[in-house]
Amino acid sequence: MQRYIPALYRPTTNPINRGILKAWALEDDRIVQAIRDAKEQIYVVSSQLQFLDSLGSNVGVFRPTEFNLSDALFRRLIPALSYAPKNIRVTMKRVLDIFFGENNPRVSIAEINENQIKISIPSSVPALRRNLKGSHHFHNYSGTIVSVDNIFKEIVIDLDGSTKSLTTNELENALFGQDLNAAVILGSTPGSTGVTLQFSASEDLSVFIPGERFMAALTNYPGSFIPDATRAFTLRKERGTLGQIINVSSQIPTLIMSDASGIPDTPGFLAFNFGFPNEEVLIKYFGRPNNSTILLDPSHVFAFDHAIGEAVNVVSTPYFKPRTSGDDYSVYIVGVEAARLLAQKIIESIAAAGVVIEWTVLTPVIDC
């Protein structure tokens, strides 16, 4: 049929007609896409942002302002509080699953009698922490100095709290302080009472007074970086300090370190300058023959330049998946009380008149 169309009107020969037809086609595509986008925003299962807020407000469910509740969680909250079947126990469980995660072992609902319900919940809300990234922090210890030996360079201490118990050399490289005096700890014995701290021969321990309080600060405690599912590894506290310049594209089987004493003499993986633009991770190493040398995989080609003094951390593979109970987060994150209080408020609002809810909030105890 095209051969019967005059050449003046053919889009293959007339660029003006071809341009008009393309403009019509593009506009049709935009209309179709706009209809698809509008269709997605009229259903709770696919709506996003302010459109999802509008759908929730239509049925009397509003996104909390106390904290940032993600669209995925808010989509589950809307039906639970509006058009879901009006079985109070089922609705309560759905709300608690949204905040504390499904099948959380620390969450339970028990009916004492027809007018009393007992609910146990944890004090943390792990379901709201999925977008948290690595976060470096200090870990502090405190207690009382029992004795000071300035000849053998040892201090014996008792830690505060019966739940705290150190592992061997857990306070290695920690800064030990009392008043304005401070010294670096070389090693420590395990336990919570009668713990012996070892210091270098150059430290003057006579400035520390037995019977007085102390504080020890450790900057690279295990788990200093919150597990991040986008990474294939977990950063650990063991680390050393780079002692040589590394040029991009270089291969270095024997790496010189300023201090490698914190890196285990066992095969593993390293991260160079983690958290900075030139970070490199999952670099295999075979051992640490001494405190100034690390044997790297000779086939590794460095992708960035590295300077003397950069941190070299040990990393674990594969990625460590935190427990849904939130115990792996609770020692590092605060400020989740608002989320827990909101969950309690919602549960109380859907309870039938005359029903008394007895709350048990389980606060985790962390061994430090």
The tokens describing 203, both together, are: 């430290």
- For residue 336, count other CB atoms closer than 10 A to its CB: 20
Residues 210 and 147 in one domain: yes
Q: Which of 183, 218, 253 is the last residue of a domain?
A: 218
Q: Is residue 80 one of the residues assigned to a domain?
A: no
Report if residue 201 sits inside a domain.
Answer: yes
pLDDT at 111: 83
pTM exceeding the 0.85 threshold for the entire prediction:
no
Which residues 6+ apart lie within 8 Å of 183 measured at CB? 175, 176, 177, 199, 203, 205, 208
Q: Do both 207 and 178 map to the same domain?
A: yes
pLDDT on residue 323:
53
Q: How many domains does the chain have?
A: 3
Predicted local confidence at residue 133, as pLDDT: 37
In a domain, 225, yes or no: no
- Asked which of 178, 194, 218 is the last residue of a domain, the reply is 218
Same domain assignment for residues 211 and 247 = no
Q: What does the pLDDT read at residue 147?
A: 95
pLDDT tens for each residue of 253-293: 999 999 998 899 999 999 998 878 888 999 999 999 999 99
The confidence score (pLDDT) of residue 1 equals 56
Q: Which residues of the chain have pLDDT under 70?
A: 1-5, 7-9, 11, 66-68, 84-87, 124-140, 161-164, 218-231, 318-337, 353, 363-368
Token pair for residue 237?
């506290």
What's the confidence (pLDDT) of residue 276? Answer: 81
**CB distance 151 to 222 below 8 Å:** no
State the CATH number of the domain containing residue 184: 2.40.30
> What integer pLDDT is reported at residue 139 of this predicted model?
61
- The whole-number pLDDT of residue 161 equals 65
Q: Is residue 267 part of a domain?
A: yes
Residue 8: predicted pLDDT: 67
Residue 296 lies in a domain: yes
In a domain, 107, yes or no: no
The answer to whether 275 and 225 are in contact (CB under 8 A) is no
In a domain, 280, yes or no: yes
pLDDT of residue 365: 53
Boundary-marking domain end, from 218, 248, 279 = 218
* CATH code of the domain containing 289: 2.40.10
Residue 49 forms part of a structural domain: no
Which domain range does residue 273 map to?
234-316
Q: Quick one: pLDDT at residue 134?
A: 37
